[in-house]
Amino acid sequence: MLNNIPKSFTPELLKLLMEMGHGETLLLADGNYPAKANCPPGGVILYIPAESIQSLLADILRFFPLDYVPAQPLAVMEKAAGNGVLQGYEAVAGAGKIECVERFAFYEKAGKVAGIIVTADQTPAANILLQKGVVQA
């Protein structure tokens, strides 16, 4: 065990976050996401039984620098705007940082991730992509 590491983090999740380079993308997926069918070659699939992607996102963003090159380094499906998911994520990440993407365009982006974190969240369209930035000294 380590001090100040969220209980939602596993050794595998820490390893993935540490190994990712800037510009690479991470997908936090709900429990219904077809991870095995959509994980790119070389991509990592981890299963973390977090019941809320929003709380896992908050834990991850304490350590994970977001990319500054795209205006919106986070992305969700358009449907997330209509079911309250977007608003919850904006409360964690800040307004204006999240792009809403058409469903199949989201799947296309998700097909290029470095890793997929499958959660126990059952909220429809709760998936979110995070693009990693550079750690500033």
Catalytic residue annotation:
22, 67, 107
- What is the distance in angstroms between the CA of the first residue and the CA of the last residue of the chain? 26
DSSP E strand boundaries for 11-109? 25-29, 44-47, 74-77, 98-101
Which among 13, 79, 87, 103 has a CA at the least distance from the CA of 50? 13
Strand-pair category, 128-131 with 25-29: antiparallel
